[in-house]
Amino acid sequence: MEFKNSELLRFTTAGSVDDGKSTLIGRLLYDSKSIYQDQYDAIKTASEKRGEENVNLALLTDGLKSEREQGITIDVAYRYFSTPKRKFIIADTPGHIQYTRNMVTGASTANVALVIVDARHGVVEQTKRHAIIASLLQIPHLVVCINKMDLVDYSQEVYNKVHDDFEAFAAKLDIKDVSFIPISALDGDNVVNRSTNMDWYEGSTLIYYLENVHISSDHNFIDVRFPVQTVIRPYNDDFHDYRGYAGRVAGGVLKKGDDIMLLPSGFTSKISKIQGPDGEQEEAFPPQSVTVLIEDDIDIGRGDMIVRPNNSATVTQDIDLMICWFSSDKQLQLRGKYSILHTSQEVRCIVKDIKYRLDINSLHRDMENKEIKMNEIARISIRTTKPLFVDPYRKNRITGSVIIIDEATNNTVAAGMIV
């Protein structure tokens, strides 16, 4: 069965309102034969009801009543399609009102970000904002899709200009891998099928890129990090003294027989057994969910972390973060107290300092106006009630990330990346 070798790739799409993002997604789904006949018929009927001339592929993702009434996308929508090589999860993030919040959400788990640029307008403020977020969230691969090439006569000069402008801007950011693809989502050029209108372009089509981009080193396989989620205790005669530590590997490769160290206690032991979903396994790596057994009888619970003795996470109560603020009705409070989730730990924290607000269009660090409202990015310092076991976000996206929760409303008010 060929699906047994198929990998999973998650990508997010970012674009401004009229640059054809929904059309591109519709095109990918349609040309890869991932839209069913009854779905197509349903959106065709709905498009006609709304008096639209063409079948509006955006209606595939805009499912909620108010989205259909207002003709806008409100929330991140997840779409799925697959080719024989890979299964894809698209986090389709809408480009207005809660744009930063939505894009950050979609970006947090993505391997690839598609940034869509209207060929007629070139690199605009929105494009820069999307690139900054992709950089901040450390999305490993970025593709600039230069769309609507049909409206600029498939001009190579236009493509070159977007390419050069974007590269000049991206040089200031922390982006590792950027590609550029000229497309027409409306007609399908270079999306799934190679364009016959742009012989000067020798790169791959979008789907070829998505099927082949190297993602197996997107995880950290060097530094062992295993946050304990829960303890498995069967309490029956067959497994009398069984104590297993369940969790999902956040970094590194754990092997049977390895020396390990426990945080926060600092006790050391050895891995005696790794139980996986299909039985015992010799090693475990990200993103596998396993149960680890150790040789010694040490008290371990949820929130503890297994590392290697010579390669520990940083144990600290003082943390610097880049945050994206989500709340529309409350702004970030200096000296304010919040709940914070990090790996399997939940603690409280106090905001000790707001260092600067990052102007997302110019990259300017504003130290004067430090009011942090919805969609804004800031650098802050916090102190937590208990030590967390952290890595810089650049090094590990799982042990380097937190969410901040308002204690009065229980809402998630910010996402944070550890500096």
Partner 1 sequence: MSYHINHLKELESESIFILREVAAKFENPVLMFSGGKDSILMVHLAHKAFYPAKIPFTLLHVDTGHNFPETIEYRDGLVEKLGLKLIVGSVDEAIKNGLVTEEKGFDASRNGLQTAVLLDELEKGKFDAALGGARRDEEKARAKERFFSHRDEFGQWDPKNQRPELWNLFNNKHQIGEHFRVFPISNWTELDVWQYLAVEEVELPSLYFSHQREVFKREGTLLADCDYINKRPEEVVYVETVRCRTIGDMTCTGVWESDASTVEDIIKEISTTRMTERGGRTDDKRSETSMEDRKKHGYF
Residue 173 or 246 with smaller CB distance to partner 1: 246
Burial classification of residue 60, based on how many CB atoms lie within 10 Å of its CB (0-12 exposed, 13-18 middle, 19 or more buried): buried
3-state helix/strand/coil string of the chain: CHHHHCEEEEEEEECCCCCCHHHHHHHHHHHCCCCCHHHHHHHHHHHHHCCCCCCCHHHHCCCCHHHHHHCCCCCCEEEEEECCCEEEEEEECCCCCCHHHHHHHHHCCCCEEEEEEECCCCCCHHHHHHHHHHHHCCCCEEEEEEECHHHHCCCHHHHHHHHHHHHHHHCCCCCCEEEEEECECCCCECCCECCCCCCCCCCCCHHHHHHHCCCCCCCCCCCCEEECCEEECCCCHHHCCCCEEEEECCECCEECCCEEEEECCCCEEEEEEEEECCEECCEECCCCEEEEEECCCCCCCCCCEEEECCECCEEEEEEEEEEEECCCCCCCCCCCEEEEEECCEEEEEEEEEEEEEECCCCCCEECCCCCCCCCCEEEEEEEEEEEEEECCCCCCCCCCEEEEECCCCCCEEEEEEEC
CB of 354 to partner 1, least distance (A): 21
CB of 339 to partner 1, least distance (A): 7
Q: Residue 144 and residue 127: Cα distance in Å, rounded?
A: 9
Residue 109 or 312 with smaller CB distance to partner 1: 109
CB of 184 to partner 1, least distance (A): 26
Q: Which two tokens stand for residue 339?
A: 């709940």
Burial string for 280-314 (b: 16+ CB within 10 Å, else e) reads ebeebbbebebbbbbeeeeebebbbbbbbeeebbe
CB of 182 to partner 1, least distance (A): 30
Residue 166 or 338 with smaller CB distance to partner 1: 338
CB of 216 to partner 1, least distance (A): 4
End-to-end CA distance of the chain: 44
Residue 216 or 310 with smaller CB distance to partner 1: 216
Residue 152 or 404 with smaller CB distance to partner 1: 404
CB of 374 to partner 1, least distance (A): 12
Residue type (1 letter), 326: F
Residue 129 or 148 with smaller CB distance to partner 1: 129
Residue 62 or 391 with smaller CB distance to partner 1: 62
Residue 196 or 216 with smaller CB distance to partner 1: 216
Residue 257 or 287 with smaller CB distance to partner 1: 287
CB of 26 to partner 1, least distance (A): 13
CB of 341 to partner 1, least distance (A): 5
CB of 293 to partner 1, least distance (A): 11
**Among 319, 337, 296, which Cα is nearest to 380's?**
319
CB of 253 to partner 1, least distance (A): 7
Residue 82 or 197 with smaller CB distance to partner 1: 82
CB of 117 to partner 1, least distance (A): 26
Residue 54 or 410 with smaller CB distance to partner 1: 410
